[in-house]
Amino acid sequence: MLSIILSCFIITSTPFMPLSVATTDDALAVYSNPAGLGISHGFNLYYLHNFSNNESFWDKSTFVGQVGALGFAYSDLHDFRLSLGSKITEGVYFGTTFRKYSSKHFWDAGILYRPIRQLSLGTTVQSIGQKVNNHYVVGIGFRPWSNRYTLTCDASLDSANWKKPAFGLELEPINGIEIKAKINTKGDYSIQAGISLEKFGIGTIKTNFTIPWGGYVRLNSEKRRTFVRPPKRFLEMKLSGSIADQKPGFSLLGSSVNMTTYEVLNTIKKAKEDKSIIGLIIKIDEPSMGFGLAQEIKSALKDFKNSNKKLIIYASQLSNIGYYIASNADEIIIHPLGEVVIPGITARSMHLKRAMDKLGVEADYERVGKYKSAPEIFSEDTLSEPDREAINSMLDDYYEQITKTIAQDRNLSQLEVDSLINHGFFLASEAKASKLVNQLCYEDELDSILGKNYKGFRKITSLHYMNDKDYEYNWCDLPKIAIIYATGDITQGESGTDILMGGISCGANSIVTAIREARKDKNVKAIILRVDSPGGDGFASDLIWRELSIAKNTKPVIVSMGPVAASGGYYISMMADKIFASPATITGSIGVFSMKFITKELYSKLGINYETIKRGEHADAFSQDRKFTDDERALFQKQIQDFYYQFINKVAQGRHLTPEYVDSVGQGRVWTGNQAYQRKLVDSLGGLMNAIDYAKGEVKIKEVKLDFMPKPKTGLFNLTLNWIKTRIKNNF
């Protein structure tokens, strides 16, 4: 029977397939080396059939399958195998197999080592712990040119005697044509030839020994190479809800982040490079994102369209951000009862001074930088002139960026765009008449309309498209680029998620640990710090800056600024080898302030009285009962002045500027990314994908694996664990 034929030539392989303990890493590793299952190639299932005897269908059949790291094989009731593989460290895998043959049980184990992309080493030992002699197999795989051509050599050891080695060749001369052959010095051979159609394979096996003829059918979840061109199709993608760099952890109100920045951008890039994708259908449903992130998405869509592919936008209605993203589409289609709302841009500033006066609360602060306006929310009734100047400057720049883009995309003059924005609100029919959109239709009519315009129209959703993973042929893990997310207010301690609202904080300990791990990981060739933070704790910011400055001495450090990278967000960015910012990124704010609230009057209104007994003249300096004394104010002003001077000197050092120049563009002033680029505070205008491409160029590597850090901690278990850790730290 198929399941009980053994041969020195095939070693531990299936009875007639030319496998190797060093190269087999899908379901068939159950028969060669279970360590190969540690590669975890998703799901794949083989059906093997022996055409060479007259036994029943089931006696001539073998089923071999894999689900992740778990594998199994079944051939009638006499032969059953269950295997498990695991990744030990980079390039090292271990696996074990339980074998049941008739009424006997055996354990096997194997190791797979892939130090470089050209070399793979494997070894197995069978019948561990049995009275019979253990059976050892060693093998080597070598790829002198590419992953399409593999040379193998396997040898086995029984009773201290090496058996004649078997030499193999595995090749795929053209996509989807798979050929494997193996021959030993005795002249026994096995040849396998088949074709692959992405997720389906079929082939035949010929040997010159016990089973001269057989065949196989393979099903697999990962796409393998194929000589058959996939059908042309459109990719349908939806932009809705909140889009942000990171998905928050557990919160009582839940997360509203539907897709991350990278998921959106990578989907568009993958579709651009995929020859089977001829167009994108983007359904816009009031997505929530900053202008800077919208620019990154629009840039990716423009790049997609420039590759000679179609871009279709559908929406029930379009507002400022949605229309900005949609404006360069080949066709913009909206609901017949929809609308386009583009009334321009505005900035609102809230001031709480009178409310605080009524409550009996006063803000007492010191600052460095005339534009460092954050404390003015609590101390002023209206915008100060420096703050008004900075906001107007940013609005002018944003307005120019938006109107110029729309004018170019829709083939309109600047005056026409100004007029449209001043009108602001358009019913669907008015939007079409004004050339803001191309067509009107209900959503259920969209496919029919596209079918008439594009012959043979078919589509795939982004969910299915991104879950459609490619089979990894390379042996060694790809070199890595670490992308470290610095999202939210910068604080001391660990990063976390607000348990009620779901907001993310950027904890210095978490970011420093991630940078250190990336620096020490030899397979990480470059570090990208993705910053979306308005700043926060100065000391915490300096800890991150310090760790980045150390990492910079060992490998390239690149910063990609998201929607906001201001104050502390700029502080942690300034030491990078290269800083990318979107034209609309909010950055700068090089300044410092320190503030406390005086609540004595409020407590008095509530009938609460505090008495202070102290030792030391300034022991109660940060008390909420009183304002700073003149001496204390001078001391604190000196401290924050010193921090400011360190800030501008570090900017000068990192950006190769003079401290005097940095001070002139500092003073707490916030700039757009476009303005910051003009003032040499950033190096280049671009988003996350531009930073990734630049990092690849710096390390001269085309194919990389992205390692996103720090790893998110989600769920109630981690929340409880972090709470326990905090309690222990605070009490011991």
- Domains in the chain: boundaries: 2-220, 233-467, 480-591+639-731
Annotated active-site positions, please? 372, 567
Q: Give the largest Cα separation in the chain, rounded.
A: 104
Task: Give how far Cα 211 sits from Cα of 45, 285, 599, Å.
Answer: 22, 61, 91
Those residues with Cβ within 8 angstroms of residue 605's Cβ, 6 or more apart along the chain or in another chain: 359, 360
What b-and-e string marks burial along 640-661, b requiring 16 or more CB atoms within 10 Å of the CB? beebbeebbebbbebbebebee
The DSSP code sequence of 69-115 is TEEEEEETTTEEEEEEEEEEETTEEEEEEEEEETTEEEEEEEEEEEE
Half-sphere exposure of 488 (CA within 13 A, CB side): 19
pTM, 2 dp? 0.86
* Whole-number pLDDT of residue 727: 44
Q: In degrees, to the nearest 5, what angle opens at C-alpha 206 toward C-alphas 202 and 211?
A: 110
Question: Contacts from 30-33 at CB under 8 Å and sequence distance 24+?
Answer: 30/64, 30/66, 30/71, 30/72, 30/73, 30/81, 30/83, 30/97, 31/64, 31/73, 31/81, 32/122, 32/124, 33/95, 33/110, 33/111, 33/112, 33/122, 33/123, 33/124, 33/137, 33/139
Q: In degrees, to the nearest 5, what angle opens at C-alpha 338 toward C-alphas 335 and 342?
A: 125
CB 321 within 8 A of CB 287: yes
- Token pair belonging to 717: 């278990």
Those residues with Cβ within 8 angstroms of residue 203's Cβ, 6 or more apart along the chain or in another chain: 178, 192, 193, 194, 195, 215, 216, 218
Q: How far is Cα of residue 41 from the mean position of the Cα atoms in its chain?
A: 20
Are domains 2-220 and 233-467 of this chain identical in fold? no
* Whole-number pLDDT of residue 255: 60
CB 157 within 8 A of CB 165: no
CB 252 within 8 A of CB 245: no
| Superfamily of 233-467 according to CATH | 2-enoyl-CoA Hydratase; Chain A, domain 1 (3.90.226.10)
Q: Measured between alpha carbons, how far is 363 from 612 in angstroms, rounded to an integer?
A: 20
Q: Measured between alpha carbons, how far is 465 from 235 in angstroms, rounded to an integer?
A: 8
Task: Give how far Cα 248 sits from Cα of 222, 239, 243, 244, 713, Å.
Answer: 29, 18, 11, 9, 9
Q: Which residues of the chain have a pLDDT value below 70?
A: 1-16, 53-59, 76-78, 129-134, 158-163, 209-211, 250-256, 500-502, 712-732
Name the residue with tokens 């531009």.
Answer: 690
* Whole-number pLDDT of residue 502: 66
Q: Where are the alpha helices (DSSP H) in 172-330?
A: 261-273, 291-306, 320-326
Rg (CA), the chain: 32
Q: What is the H or E stretch that residue 596 is in?
A: strand 592-598
CB 245 within 8 A of CB 266: no
DSSP 163: P
* Whole-number pLDDT of residue 229: 84
Task: Give how far Cα 124 sits from Cα of 19, 108, 137, Å.
Answer: 13, 7, 5
* Whole-number pLDDT of residue 184: 84
Q: How far is Cα of residue 50 from the mean position of the Cα atoms in its chain?
A: 46
CB 326 within 8 A of CB 318: yes
CATH topology for the 2-220 domain: Porin (2.40.160)
Closest among 343, 312, 344 to 328, alpha carbons compared:
312
Q: Measured between alpha carbons, how far is 110 from 107 in angstroms, rounded to an integer?
A: 11
Q: Measured between alpha carbons, how far is 108 from 717 in angstroms, rounded to an integer?
A: 36
CB 220 within 8 A of CB 42: yes
Bridge partners (DSSP) listed for residue 497 = 504
First to last CA, the chain: 67
Class of domain 480-591+639-731: alpha beta
603 three-class SS: helix
Task: Give how far Cα 552 sits from Cα of 10, 452, 524, 577, 604, Å.
Answer: 51, 55, 13, 7, 54
CB 271 within 8 A of CB 280: yes
Q: Measured between alpha carbons, how far is 617 from 565 in angstroms, rounded to an integer?
A: 39
* Whole-number pLDDT of residue 482: 97
What b-and-e string marks burial along 482-502, b requiring 16 or more CB atoms within 10 Å of the CB? bbbbbbbbbbeebbbbeeeeb
431 three-class SS: helix
- Token pair belonging to 455: 């012959």
Half-sphere exposure of 703 (CA within 13 A, CB side): 7
* Whole-number pLDDT of residue 35: 94
Half-sphere exposure of 479 (CA within 13 A, CB side): 14
* Whole-number pLDDT of residue 2: 34
Bridge partners (DSSP) listed for residue 155 = 138
- Token pair belonging to 29: 């590793």
Closest among 581, 574, 675, 587 to 296, alpha carbons compared:
581
Residue type (1 letter), 264: V
Q: How far is Cα of residue 59 from the mean position of the Cα atoms in its chain?
A: 48
Q: Is the dihedral of CA 442, 446, 447, 448 positive or negative?
A: positive
Residue type (1 letter), 693: D
* Whole-number pLDDT of residue 149: 94
Q: At what angle do helices 538-551 and 508-520 cross, to 10 degrees?
A: 0
- Token pair belonging to 628: 């700073």
